[in-house]
Amino acid sequence: MRLLKVTGMLATALLMTACAQKKETVYYWGDYQSSLYSAWQNGSAPEKDIATLNKVIEQAKAKNKPLPPGLHAQLGLLYVNAGQPDKAFQQFTNEKIAFPESSAYMDFLMRNKQGAK
């Protein structure tokens, strides 16, 4: 009797697992989150993270999926740290276009990073 209960529970669990679908997100995240975490934990060189985020952008385009909020802003800050303010300002503008609600913050960043030019 006990064996029958255990077998029934296992069969139910396997059936539920087999039927479960992978939940797809709206945005393409790629390695964005792990790159961000690594940058804050290890203080890695901006060039490495710039390459990672540019790769995420390319992958999102290939999959025809939008980028998550903050990716362009983070890339912009990395470009500022790498001494490339023109590219940074382009990324801040891209963030404003994709997420208009970020305009005030992006304008703030551009005003404060103006001296980096």
Span 76-106, pLDDT tens digits:
999 999 999 999 999 999 999 999 999 999 9
The boundaries of the domain holding residue 34 are 25-116
Classify residue 5: in a domain, yes or no.
no
Residue 17 counted as domain residue: no
Tokens of 39: 């940058």
What is the chain's mean pLDDT, rounded? 85
Q: How far apart are CA 4 and CA 25, in angstroms?
A: 39
| Residue 23, pLDDT score | 72
**Domain count within the chain:** 1
Query: Structure pTM?
Result: 0.76
Categorize the per-residue pLDDT at 69 as very low, low, confident or very high, splitting at 50, 70 and 90: very high
In this structure, are residues 76 and 109 in contact, taking their beta carbons and an 8 Å threshold?
A: yes
Are 67 and 28 a contacting pair, CB within 8 Å? yes
Looking at 17-31, 36-50, 60-74, 84-98, which range is the least confident one? 17-31
Per-residue pLDDT at 111:
92
Domain containing 29 — which CATH number?
A: 1.25.40
* Phi and psi, residue 62, nearest 5°: -65, -35
